[in-house]
Chains A and B, each alone.
Chain A
Amino acid sequence: MLNNTVSAATSTQAPLMKRTSHGWRLGRLNLALRQHMSPWLQALILACALVVGLGISAALLIAAGVKPSALFDEFIVENFSDPENLHSILFQAAPLIFVGVSAALAFRVRFWNLGIEGQMIWGGIAATAVSFYDIGPPVLRLPLMMLFAALAGMAWIIVPLWLRVRWRVNEIIVTLLLNYVAFNFLLHLLYGAWLDPKDNFPHSPQFRAFERLPELGFGISSALVLALIFTALSGWLVMFTRFGFYTKFVHDNDRMALAVGVPIGLVTLVSALFSGALSALAGFVIAAAQEGRLTQSYFEGYGFSGILIAFLARNNPIAAMVVAVLVAVLFVSGRSLQVFYQIPFAMVQLIQAIIVISVAASEFLMRHRVHWVR
């Protein structure tokens, strides 16, 4: 009787996935963990992933009614031949750079800051408060708005940071949910005390001229310059300082980092505070350079974009800047597609998501060696 059971077991169908010594066997495909991979092959895989992602995106756009010939026009020709469009891209890039670098700094120490939008809201509110209550002389107005914005962003991230460091509360949930708190407070202000008396619309009164970030000529906004300065600062911080050296250890192996004397708490604290401040500055530059006032939707979509930029840039601030510019191209082209083809803006987010998934999937090929089993 026992023999029957045994033979039944051996004759069962081969499982679809089978665990082997170093990985999983999927049918006739064998997967093994890679020890090492040359940077060139990595770049090639990444490029292939991008091509696949863009291909799927193009197919979706065509299915939504965009002519194939128009795709090339909208994304390449229009954007880079027309100075007006180039201007909008650089203009759009500034807040994206801020959120991208913000996410990169937090993710470097594995602090999963999903509260970028909440911090942006607070940055906008703090900057607007400086304008609304006429704090400081006109000359110092913009620096004060910036400072208040940054401080507000830091203050907003302190709660999840403290909960995480002191009580090990998962910051993903806390930062994410605090976004709703910030958003409702914003609505409270815009529909209440800060309602524009001129038109009774739910936005703050227009900023005065000296409260707006100036254009510097050649289509360059001072917002972009600020974004570049902060990128350079963050880049130097993570690449050249002792703090940056420590962040690598906190990211790679925090148990080891603790044992070897890395001040984990301090490193996490500084990174997260910087991240909060940079997100808030994104809110500030949108309010002070793009909208010229506090509106109720200026932050929408930036949280996700920030995460995506940091992910694609592998948490490197300088690379985040480059990726942010590319995402800006997508944003701007998306807007014109919206106007000319009635394609919803959600399509832009869909494209972002498809590209992220493609790149994330390619990481699997970088970590595993795939070969056929004969």
Chain B
Amino acid sequence: MVAALKLVGVRKSFDGFVALDDAEFEARAGEVHALLGENGAGKSSLMNVAAGLYTPEAGQIFVNGEEVVLTGPRDATACRIGMVHQEFKLVRPFTVVENVLLANWRGRFAPGVREIERQIEKQAAELGFEIDPRSRIDELSIAERQRVEIIKVLLAGARILILDEPTAVLTDEEAVRLLTTVRALAAGGAAVVLVTHKLGEVTAFTDRVTVMRNGRAVALLDSRATDAAELTRLAVGTTVASPRRASSPPGEPRLTVKSLQATRADGHVTVNDASFYVRAGEIYGIAGVGGNGQTELVEALTGVRAPLAGSIEIEGAGDATGASPERLRDLGIACIPADRFGYGIAGGLSVVDNFCVGHINEGTYGSWLRTNGSAMREATAEAVGEFDVQGVRALRQRAALLSGGNAQKLIIAREFTRNPKVIVAHSPSRGLDVRACAAVHERLLKARAGGAAILLISDDLDEVLNLSDRIGVMTRGRIAAEFEAPADRQAVGRVMVHHA
């Protein structure tokens, strides 16, 4: 049987970072095919290649056995490939009809609107969706918007349907409903690709599964002949040996979080009743599937986002709920953000500026009237050496030119030279190679030995398991369970998946 969609030897890199390396993929008509992998494994990149959004540097795309060259989403549509992106591509103030029309142009406007409206109603009835074609997108719920996206690509004639993490934004009930619809579409002869990192969906709703890791497809399995344990092993890979933790008795709680609530930018409550504490000299790891409130938790702890309710207490300073980032830093909080070029570094400014900004208010680099450039350069040179930041050709070089690992080391240098009392590290090794990753872990363990209280929040379960003294699993905005150090991987994984 000829595969409906087949990708061979696809390679794609972004500014030196290789996202896809010789990736393979194939999906047949009539099946729901899961594409499974951790964050950053290359799932979305691969599907963006199939949807014509990314031009691969190497590799071939076959549709029904014929090689095609996609120069844009329009070509993909012509090949009857349709993709529903994680971030919906809908114009919010426009109506459903207008949005569908935008993607499926009909020769004349007014007749086109009527025609599309009829087609939307017909398609919606077939799928069992209830959608008023004349309602505006911003009046619709997230699940309804997703249905509009699906109708949009189906009306464009898609027979190869790619859904990128479709259930990440849905409630359990909505997710089951969507996946049932998806099964029906496959039964009707479409090839459906379901990009996901939820193991439960793979085993319950798909026919075959391709597992990706580090930009490659590592396995193609029959979904019914596998289980969660095998899929986890394939998606995560064999674990790298990590630095040993020396055992030492922890001290008093340094950071105490009680019943914290915080919202995402869109007003959605994502941190809901989170409570935990971190003691001096210990690493408290927070494991969990990304998007369960981790980002907002970090933002609340570093003062970037004011919490809705609950309290944050820091030893010796008392209640610090809702304090500004400046104040929290003065109290001894340091942060390694997950998005290092977004929140950790000002790419257009020099290495010196990026190092010194963290402690210039302490007066070490001259008074506020006169900053002392040579003191700044000396301190930076020393820190760059001590923290082994490589790739610094000149101290005045723009920080954006550093690789991810070296940018991370620069951030750690800035944050750790202040001897912080509490360190909040969010996915500190994301996207780093093995060596840089080990260097980051070594720094965290050194800070732990120095008596700092470290909160490690990571999507990478191994990172959490290897480094933490205690582990909390975050699902749906709260700590669903806690484990003591050596924690059973399977047990932690079960809480992550079953509550998610």
* Chain A residues proximal to chain B, CB less than 8 Å: 2-3, 5-10, 12, 14-15, 18-22, 33, 35-36, 240-246, 248-249, 252-253, 255-263
B369 within 8 A of A: yes
B68 and A259 form a contact (CB under 8 A): no
| Interface: B13 (CB within 8 A) | yes
Decide if B361 touches A261 in the complex (CB within 8 Å): yes
CA of A262 to CA of B342 in the docked complex: distance in angstroms? 15
In the bound complex, residues from chain A placing their C-beta under 8 Å from that of B75 are 9-10, 12
Residues in A neighbouring B69, C-beta threshold 8 A: 10
Report yes or no: B66 in contact with A6, Cβ–Cβ below 8 A: yes
Give min CB distance, B342 to chain A, whole Å: 6
Q: Closest CB of chain B to A236's CB: distance in Å?
A: 9
A190 to chain B, nearest CB (A): 42
Given contacts A245-B371, A252-B346, A259-B304, whether A6 and B326 have CB atoms under 8 Å apart is no
26 residue pairs from A and B, CB less than 8 Å apart: A2-B159, A5-B78, A5-B80, A9-B78, A10-B68, A10-B75, A14-B71, A19-B72, A20-B55, A240-B369, A241-B368, A242-B368, A245-B353, A248-B353, A253-B342, A253-B345, A255-B343, A256-B342, A256-B343, A257-B357, A259-B337, A259-B343, A260-B325, A261-B324, A261-B330, A262-B326
Contacts of A260 in B (CB 8 A): 325, 329, 357-358, 414
Q: Tell me whether B370 is interfacial, beta carbon within 8 Å.
A: yes
Instruction: With CB as the reference atom, state the residue of chain B lying closest to A240.
Output: B370
8 closest pairs, A vs B, by CB?
A9-B78, A253-B346, A252-B346, A261-B326, A242-B368, A252-B348, A261-B329, A9-B75
Q: Which of B14, B57, B68, B371 contacts A242 (CB 8 A)?
A: B371
Interface-centre pick from A2, A12, A246 (highest chain B CB count, 10 A): A2
In the bound assembly, the distance between CA atoms of A20 and B57 in angstroms comes to 9
In the complex, which residues 8-60 of chain B have their Cβ closer than 8 Å to any Cβ of chain A?
Answer: 12-15, 53-55, 57
Q: What chain B residues lie within 8 Å of A19 (beta carbons)?
A: 53, 55, 72
Q: Roughly how many angstroms separate A3 CA and B65 CA in the complex, as a whole number?
A: 9
Q: Which residues of B contact A5 (CB under 8 A)?
A: 78-80
Query: Which of A14, A248, A252 sits near B347, CB closer than 8 Å?
Result: A252
In chain B, what residue has the closest Cβ to A3?
B66
- Verify B329–A15 contact, CB threshold 8 A: no
> Are A253 and B329 closer than 8 Å at their CB atoms?
no
Bound: A9/B76 CA distance, A = 8
Is A15 in contact with B71, judged by CB distance below 8 angstroms?
yes
Chain B residue contacts of A246, Cβ below 8 A: 357
| B302 within 8 Å of A (CB atoms) | yes
Is B163 engaged at the interface, CB distance under 8 Å to the other chain? no
Q: Check if B368 sits within 8 Å of A243, measured CB to CB.
A: yes
**Which B354-369 residues have C-beta < 8 A from chain A?**
356-358, 360-361, 366-369
Do A6 and B68 have beta carbons less than 8 Å apart?
yes
Q: Chain A residues near B15 (CB, 8 Å)?
A: 22, 33
**B63 interfacial by beta-carbon distance below 8 Å:** yes
Q: How far is the CB of A266 from chain B (nearest CB, A)?
A: 10
The residue of chain B having its C-beta at the shortest distance from the C-beta of A2 within the complex is B64
Q: How far is the CB of A28 from chain B (nearest CB, A)?
A: 15
B401 x A21 contact (CB < 8 A) = no
Please measure, in the bound complex, the distance between the C-alpha atom of A7 and the C-alpha atom of B72, giving whole angstroms: 15
Contacts known (A6-B64, A35-B401, A241-B368); A257 close to B304, Cβ less than 8 A: no
Q: Across the interface, which residues of B come within 8 angstroms of A7, CB to CB? A: 66
- A241 to chain B: which residues have CB within 8 Å? 368-371
Find the A residue at minimum CB distance from B370.
A240
Q: Is B335 an interface residue (CB 8 A)?
A: yes
With both chains docked as a complex, state the minimum distance between the C-beta of B404 and any C-beta of chain A, in angstroms.
Answer: 15
Check B79–A6 contact: CB distance below 8 A.
yes
Residue of A nearest to B55 (CB): A20
Chain B, Cβ-Cβ closest to A253: B346
**A-side binding surface: helix, strand, loop or mixed?**
helix
In the assembled complex, B250 has its CB within 8 A of some CB on chain A? no
Q: How far is the CB of B37 from chain A (nearest CB, A)?
A: 22
Rounded to whole angstroms, the CA-CA distance of A250 and B79 in the bound complex is: 46
B344 close to chain A: CB less than 8 A = yes
Give the distance in Å from the alpha carbon of A240 to the alpha carbon of B376 in the complex.
12
Q: Is B176 an interface residue (CB 8 A)?
A: no
Which residues on the B side are within 8 Å of A253 (C-beta)?
342, 345-348
- Taking the nearest CB of chain B, how far is it from the CB of A305, in angstroms? 27
CA distance A22 to B53 in the complex (A): 12
Contacts of A252 in B (CB 8 A): 346-349
How many angstroms between the C-alpha atoms of A209 and B347 in the bound complex?
54
* Interface residue ranges, B against A (CB under 8 Å): 12-15, 53-55, 57, 63-64, 66, 68-72, 75, 78-80, 159, 302, 304, 324-326, 329-330, 335, 337, 342-349, 353, 356-358, 360-361, 366-371, 398, 401, 414
Q: Are B357 and A258 in touch, CB under 8 angstroms?
A: no
Provide the bound-state CA to CA distance between A261 and B414, in Å: 12
| Minimal beta-carbon separation of B52 from chain A (angstroms) | 9
State the CA gap A259–B346 with chains docked (Å).
11
- Report which of A9, A244, A257 forms a contact with B79, defined as CB distance below 8 A: A9
A243–B325 Cα distance when bound, in Å, is 17
Give Cα A33 to B345, complex, Å: 20
With A2-B159, A35-B401 already in contact, 19 other A-B pairs whose C-beta atoms are closer than 8 Å: A2-B80, A3-B64, A5-B80, A6-B64, A9-B70, A9-B79, A10-B69, A18-B55, A18-B72, A19-B55, A242-B361, A242-B368, A242-B371, A243-B368, A249-B353, A252-B347, A253-B348, A261-B325, A261-B361
Q: Chain A: which residue is nearest B356 at the CB level?
A: A245
Residues of B near A261 (CB, < 8 A) are 324-326, 329-330, 358, 361
Rounded to whole Å, the gap between the CB of A39 and the closest CB of chain B is: 12
- In-complex Cβ contact of A256 among B57, B72, B344, B356 (8 A): B344
Q: Which residue of A lies closest to B398 (CB)?
A: A36
Q: Determine whether the beta carbon of B12 is less than 8 Å from that of A245.
A: no
**Which of A10, A240, A246, A260: most chain B Cβ within 10 A?**
A260
CA gap between A242 and B326 in the complex, in Å: 15
- Per the bound structure, the CA–CA distance linking A10 and B304 in Å amounts to 49
Query: Which chain B residue lies CB-closest to A33?
Result: B15
Cβ of B349 and Cβ of A9 under 8 Å apart?
Answer: no
Measured CB to CB, the closest approach of chain A to B128, in angstroms, equals: 27
How long is the Cα–Cα vector from A241 to B370 in the complex, in angstroms?
5
What's the Cα separation between A317 and B159 when bound, in Å?
60
Contact of A259 among B302, B361, B398 (CB under 8 A): B302
On chain A, the residues within 8 Å of B370 by CB distance are 240-241
A15: B residues at CB distance < 8 A: 71-72
User: Which B residues touch A258, using CB under 8 A?
Assistant: 304, 325
A35 to B400, CA, bound (A): 9
- Smallest CB separation, B340 vs chain A (Å): 9
CA distance A370 to B79 in the complex (A): 32
Most buried by B among A15, A246, A258: A258
How far does the alpha carbon of A21 sit from the alpha carbon of B13 in the complex, in Å? 8
Do A249 and B349 touch (CB < 8 A)? yes
A249 touches B78 (CB 8 A): no
Report how far A262 CA is from B344 CA in the complex, Å: 13
The 8 Å CB contact of B346, one of A6, A33, A257, is A257
Residues from chain B with a CB closer than 8 A to the CB of A243 are 368
Is there contact, CB below 8 Å, between B347 and A18?
no
Contact between B64 and A249 (Cβ–Cβ < 8 Å)? Answer: no
A248 and B398 alpha carbons, distance in the complex (Å):
13
Of the candidates A240, A248, A255, A261, the one having the most CB atoms from chain B within 10 angstroms of its own CB is A261
- Of A21, A245, A256, the residue contacting B360 (CB under 8 A) is A245
Nearest A residue (CB) for B302: A259
Rounded to whole angstroms, the CA-CA distance of A18 and B57 in the bound complex is: 14
When distances are taken between beta carbons in the complex, the residues of chain A under 8 Å from B358 are 260-261
- Bound Cα distance from A15 to B342, whole angstroms: 33
**B349 adjacent to A248 (CB under 8 Å):** yes
Who on chain B is nearest to A14 by CB?
B71
Chain A residues with CB under 8 Å of B57's CB are 21
In the bound assembly, the distance between CA atoms of A259 and B354 in angstroms comes to 13
Tell me if B357 and A245 are in contact (CB < 8 A): yes
Please give me the residue from chain B that is nearest to A9 by CB atom.
Answer: B78
